[in-house]
Amino acid sequence: MSTGLTTGATGARRRRGRYLLRRLGQSAIVLGIVLLLQFTLIHLAPGDIADVIAGDVQSDDPEFIIQLRRDLGLDQPLPIQFAFYVGRLLTLDLGTSHAFNMPVLTLILDRLPATLLLMFSAIALAFVAGAALGTIAAAFRGRWPDVLVTISALLFYATPVFLVGIGLILIFTVWLRWLPMSGMYVTWVQHTWWSLAVDIARHLIMPAVSLSLFFVAIYTRLMRATMLEVLSQDYVRTAWAKGLSPSRVVLRHAARNALLPMVTMLGLQVGSLLGGAVLVETVFGWPGIGRLAFEAVFRRDVPLVLGILFFSSVLVLMVNLLVDLLYTRLDPRIVLR
């Protein structure tokens, strides 16, 4: 009996190890494809960084541009440029940004924490608010709380994120003067760690809310639909029949099981969350990676664009892997294969 159990546990561990290895292998392939696609796409756009720099300095010297292209290696054929890039990447060298003349890694690491903070605040907010609102809507199906929640969700879903941002600024900054509207913290005062945390939190409120509203809408609708389905299941009827209180039936028995699709959605949404971050970071001057990507594309700064994409892809792949692992915790019936 006991031997059997041990073998079972070892087997599960071995399965999990194999699973992880295979997933990591797949991720590497996906990464390669993403980089190749992005490299191709950015070169399909007309113009290069030399055009941009020459435009900035208003150079009337053709030799200047030729020299610039030579210095940056832009005079090489594209496949060779790509091969060089991948070769360097394999030694974990992301190269130097052409526009900033600085290591890409430094630029990204400078900006990554801000974006991660924004993303995880937004997703946490969306998840909690969506689960709560969806549960309320399902529990009061067809009555006024349901109608209110459904209409709000539709409104959140349909409003572009930058419009939400500007709206919040007009209300909370220009009119009420409660919240700061740009940046991540006040830069010119000496902060203690506590005052810095408070300052960042105050700056974070509006960007996080703007970014999350769309996802609140999605999670609300998803939660409501799943809850309705779960509430009609036999075991819930049994729970009612046992005479349990409504809150206990809804929260303990139904809601917990309704969370599974929400977690799936969470993994899928990380990518689009990064997309939304570009807009939110622009409106609120949030010093994150989304805006850096935006600027890099417009300056045709290929190493920086690829570097940011590499990091974002790794982030999305990691989150999805985590979500898959989380399934087995939430629902022990799911087995990794």
Partner 1 sequence: MTKPVLHTLSRRAILRGAAVASVAALLPLPRGAFAQSPVSGGTLTIALPTEPQHFNSAMDSTQQVKIIAGKIFSGLLRYDLDMNPLPDLAESWEVADDGLSITFNLRQGVKWHDGTPFTARDVEYSVMRGFGQNNGLVRSVFAPVTEVETPDDHTAILRLSVPSPAIMMALPVATATILPAHIYDNGGNIRENPANQAPIGTGPFRFVEWQRGNAVILERNPDYFEPGLPYLDRIVFALIPDSQSRGAAIEAGQIDMVYHSTAAASDARRLGDLPHLSLSTDGYLFDSTVCFAEFNMAHPILGKTEVRQAIAHVIDKQFILDNIWMGFGGVANTPIHRNLTHAHTDDAPSYPLDLEEAGRRLDEAGYPRGSDGVRFRVTIEFTPFGDQYNRMAQYIRQQLAQIGVVAEVRSQDFPGWVRRIWTDRDWDINVSAITNASDPTIGVQRAYWTENIRPGTPFTNSTHYSNADLDALFVAAAQENDPEARRAQFVEIQQILMTDLPVIPLVAIDQFTIATRRLNNYDQLSDGVYAGFADAWLEG
What backbone torsions phi and psi does residue 192 show, to the nearest 5 degrees?
-85, 165
Q: Give the CA distances from residue 27 to residues 22, 33, 49, 323, in Å, rounded to whole numbers and listed in that order.
A: 9, 10, 30, 15
Please, what is the Cα angle at 41 between 35 and 45, to 5 degrees? 145
Q: Give the CA distances from residue 318 to residues 37, 40, 73, 153, 179, in Å, rounded to whole numbers and listed in that order.
A: 20, 25, 33, 29, 34
Q: Which is nearer to partner 1, 3 or 190 (CB)?
A: 190
User: Least distance in Å: CB of 56 to partner 1?
Assistant: 5
Q: What angle, 0 to 180 degrees and rounded to 10, lies between the N-to-C axes of helices 104-139 and 289-298?
A: 120
Q: What angle, 0 to 180 degrees and rounded to 10, lies between the N-to-C axes of helices 256-283 and 193-231?
A: 140
Q: Which is nearer to partner 1, 76 or 173 (CB)?
A: 173
Paired residues of 103 in beta bridges: 96
User: Least distance in Å: CB of 111 to partner 1?
Assistant: 6
User: Least distance in Å: CB of 201 to partner 1?
Assistant: 16
User: Least distance in Å: CB of 166 to partner 1?
Assistant: 5
What backbone torsions phi and psi does residue 227 show, to the nearest 5 degrees?
-60, -45
Q: Which is nearer to partner 1, 19 or 162 (CB)?
A: 162
Q: Give the CA distances from residue 154 to residues 27, 151, 221, 238, 325, in Å, rounded to whole numbers and listed in that order.
A: 35, 5, 9, 34, 32
Q: Which is nearer to partner 1, 23 or 191 (CB)?
A: 191
Q: What is the DSSP letter of 337?
A: -
User: Least distance in Å: CB of 319 to partner 1?
Assistant: 23
Q: Which is nearer to partner 1, 139 or 304 (CB)?
A: 304
User: Least distance in Å: CB of 165 to partner 1?
Assistant: 8
Where are the alpha helices (H) located in the chain, listed in sequence order?
2-44, 49-57, 62-71, 78-90, 104-139, 144-158, 161-169, 193-231, 234-241, 246-248, 256-283, 289-298, 302-330
Q: Which is nearer to partner 1, 125 or 292 (CB)?
A: 292
User: Least distance in Å: CB of 337 to partner 1?
Assistant: 43
Paired residues of 96 in beta bridges: 103
Q: What's the distance, Cα to Cα, between the start and end of the chain in Å?
A: 25
**Half-sphere exposure (Cβ direction) of 12: Cα atoms closer than 13 Å:** 11
User: Least distance in Å: CB of 125 to partner 1?
Assistant: 21
Q: Which is nearer to partner 1, 16 or 202 (CB)?
A: 202
Q: Which is nearer to partner 1, 49 or 149 (CB)?
A: 49
Q: Which is nearer to partner 1, 48 or 230 (CB)?
A: 48
Backbone torsion region of residue 95, taken as left when φ is above 0, otherwise alpha when ψ lies between -120 and 50, otherwise beta: left
Footprint of partner 1 (CB under 8 A): 45-49, 51-62, 64-65, 71, 99-102, 107, 110-111, 114, 162, 166, 169-170, 173-174, 177, 180-184, 187-188, 282-285, 287-288, 291-292, 295, 298-300
User: Least distance in Å: CB of 284 to partner 1?
Assistant: 7
Q: How many CB atoms lie within 10 A of CB 178?
A: 11
